[in-house]
């Protein structure tokens, strides 16, 4: 995966939020984070053609936070929190609020920036 794909999802999340599509924004913010984490894993030589959400989260935390100490521990929480919000946005009747969607977008932006800094991408 590439960081440009993560950035595309981030931009889509921003556009959705600007137009009041909070559920779509939350979903895209999660995928921006997911693809940035995928990029980070590939940058250190950990490749997979098909990461599951759970496997990617576990590998990012285990390999890049705890083992290699490339990222702060708080970033592991970014993935797990984001998927909870995405599930609410995609599968529940209740809507994601603009406040929650904005927070998720901001966290995704911070996540991508950190990955960009570490991977020099």
Residues 52-87 have pLDDT tens digits of 999 999 999 999 999 999 999 988 889 999 999 999
* Segments forming the whole domain that contains residue 79: 3-119
Work out the number of other CB atoms within 10 angstroms of the CB of residue 18.
9
* Domain containing residue 113: CATH number: 1.20.120.330
Provide the number of structural domains found in the chain. Answer: 1
- pTM of the shown model: 0.95
């Amino acid at each position: 995966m590439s960081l440009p794909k993560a950035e595309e999802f981030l931009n889509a999340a921003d556009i959705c939020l600007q137009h009041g599509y909070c559920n779509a924004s939350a979903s895209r913010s999660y995928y921006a984070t997911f693809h940035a984490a995928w990029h980070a894993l590939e940058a250190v030589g950990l490749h997979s053609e098909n990461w599951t959400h759970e496997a990617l989260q576990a590998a990012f935390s285990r390999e890049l936070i705890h083992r290699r100490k490339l990222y702060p521990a708080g970033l592991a929480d970014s993935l797990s929190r984001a998927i909870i919000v995405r599930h609410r946005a995609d599968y529940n009747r209740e809507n994601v609020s603009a406040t929650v969607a904005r927070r998720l977008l901001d966290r995704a932006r911070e996540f991508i920036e950190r990955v960009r800094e570490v991977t020099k991408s």
